[in-house]
Structure 1
Amino acid sequence: MRLSKSKAELYAAIRRDHRAGMSMRALQRKYGVTWQTVRKALDLVWPEPRKKLPPRPTRLDPYKPLIDEMLRRDLDAPPKQRHTSKRVFDRLLDEYAATGISYQMVRGYIATRRGEIRQEAGRGPSEVFVPQTHLPGTEAEVDFGDVHIVLVGVATRCYLFSFRLSYSGKAVHRVFASCGQEAFFEGHVHALSVLGGAPRGKVRYDNLKAAVAKVLGFARHRQESERWTAFRTHWGIESFYCRPGLEGAHEKGGVEGQIGYFRRNHFVPVPEVASLAELNEMVDRWDLQDEGRRIRSRARTVGEYFAVEAPLLKPLPTELFETGRLFTPRVDRYSQIAVQTNRYSVPVRLIGRTVRVMLHANHLIVYDQGTEVARHERLSTKAGSRLELDHYLEALIRKPGAFPGATALEQAKSAGKFTPVHDDWWTAARAAHGDKDGTKALIEVLLLGRHMSHEHIVAGLATALRAGALTADAVALEARKAAEADELAASAPAHAALPAPPGRQRATVTFLSDWRMSHLPADTRPLPSVAPYDQLLRHRRPGGAPATEGEAT
Structure 2
Amino acid sequence: MAITVEEIAAIKELQAQGFGPYQISAQVGADPKTVRKYMKQDDFSPAVPQPKSLCGKLTPWIPTICVWLEEDQQNRHKQRHTAKRIYDRLVKEDPAFSCSYRTVSRYVADWKAERRQGHGAQELVWHPGECQADFGECDMYVRGSRVVVKYLVVTFPYSNVGYLQCFHGETAECLCQGLKDIFHYIGGVPQRVVIDNATGAGRRMGEVIRLTELFQRFKAHYGFSLTFCNPRSGNEKGNVENKVGYFRRNILVPIPKTESLEHFNAQVLEECELDNCRDHYKLNIPMCELFQEDKQQLLRLPELPFECCKYRRLLTDHYGKFCIDNCHFYNIGPQYADSELWVRIGAFTVEPLDS
Report the TM-score when normalising by structure 2.
0.74
Structure 1 counterpart of 2:312: 327
1:102-251 pair list within 5 angstroms: 109=107, 112-113=110-111, 116=114, 125-137=117-129, 139-200=130-191, 202-213=192-203, 215-216=204-205, 218=206, 220-245=207-232, 248-251=233-236
1:229 Cα deviation from its structure 2 partner:
2.3
1:126 Cα deviation from its structure 2 partner:
4.1
3-state DSSP class of the match of 1:355? Answer: strand
1:175 Cα deviation from its structure 2 partner:
0.6
**In the alignment, does 2:329 pair up with 1:343?**
yes
3-state DSSP class of the match of 2:250? Answer: helix
In the alignment, the residues of structure 1 paired with residue 104 and residue 44 of structure 2 have an alpha-carbon distance, to the nearest angstrom, of 42
8 Å contact 2:214–2:310 — kept in the other structure? no
1:289 Cα deviation from its structure 2 partner:
0.5
In the alignment, the residues of structure 1 paired with residue 52 and residue 113 of structure 2 have an alpha-carbon distance, to the nearest angstrom, of 24
In the alignment, the residues of structure 2 paired with residue 274 and residue 177 of structure 1 have an alpha-carbon distance, to the nearest angstrom, of 14
3-state DSSP class of the match of 2:178? Answer: helix
Compute the RMSD of aligned alpha carbons: 4.4
Flag the 1:81–1:221 CA change in 2: closer, same or farther, 3 A. farther
8 Å contact 1:294–1:300 — kept in the other structure? yes
1:27 Cα deviation from its structure 2 partner:
9.1
Structure possessing the higher relative contact order (Cα contacts under 8 Å, 6 or more residues apart): 2
3-state DSSP class of the match of 2:314? Answer: coil
In the alignment, the residues of structure 2 paired with residue 153 and residue 12 of structure 1 have an alpha-carbon distance, to the nearest angstrom, of 78
Structure 2 counterpart of 1:450: none
Q: Which has the higher strand share?
A: 2
**In the alignment, does 2:296 pair up with 1:311?**
yes
Structure 2 counterpart of 1:426: none
8 Å contact 2:54–2:107 — kept in the other structure? no
Q: Once the two structures are superposed, what CA deviation does each residue of 1:395-438 show, in whole Å capped at 9, x if it has no partner?
A: xxxxxxxxxxxxxxxxxxxxxxxxxxxxxxxxxxxxxxxxxxxx
- Of 252, 255, 258, 2:243 maps to 258
Structure 2 gaps, min length 5: none
Q: What is the total number of aligned residue pairs between the two structures?
A: 333
3-state DSSP class of the match of 2:264? Answer: helix
- Of 278, 293, 296, 2:281 maps to 296
1:48 Cα deviation from its structure 2 partner:
7.3
In the alignment, the residues of structure 2 paired with residue 191 and residue 162 of structure 1 have an alpha-carbon distance, to the nearest angstrom, of 10
3-state DSSP class of the match of 1:328? Answer: strand
**In the alignment, does 2:258 pair up with 1:273?**
yes
Flag the 1:136–1:34 CA change in 2: closer, same or farther, 3 A. same
1:392-471 pair list within 5 angstroms: none
| Paired AA for residue 360 in structure 1 | G
8 Å contact 1:59–1:100 — kept in the other structure? no
In the alignment, the residues of structure 1 paired with residue 65 and residue 198 of structure 2 have an alpha-carbon distance, to the nearest angstrom, of 42
Flag the 1:336–1:311 CA change in 2: closer, same or farther, 3 A. same
Report the TM-score when normalising by structure 1.
0.50
Flag the 1:240–1:37 CA change in 2: closer, same or farther, 3 A. farther
In the alignment, the residues of structure 1 paired with residue 255 and residue 184 of structure 2 have an alpha-carbon distance, to the nearest angstrom, of 28
In the alignment, the residues of structure 1 paired with residue 22 and residue 4 of structure 2 have an alpha-carbon distance, to the nearest angstrom, of 19
Flag the 1:55–1:136 CA change in 2: closer, same or farther, 3 A. closer
8 Å contact 2:140–2:255 — kept in the other structure? yes
In the alignment, the residues of structure 2 paired with residue 58 and residue 12 of structure 1 have an alpha-carbon distance, to the nearest angstrom, of 36
In the alignment, the residues of structure 2 paired with residue 52 and residue 316 of structure 1 have an alpha-carbon distance, to the nearest angstrom, of 60
Flag the 1:110–1:315 CA change in 2: closer, same or farther, 3 A. same
8 Å contact 1:160–1:173 — kept in the other structure? yes
Q: Once the two structures are superposed, what CA deviation does each residue of 1:233-287 show, in whole Å capped at 9, x if it has no partner?
A: 2221211111212xx1000001111111111111122222232123223311211
Q: Which has the higher helix share?
A: 1
Percent of aligned pairs with the same residue?
A: 22
3-state DSSP class of the match of 1:329? Answer: strand
8 Å contact 1:159–1:177 — kept in the other structure? yes
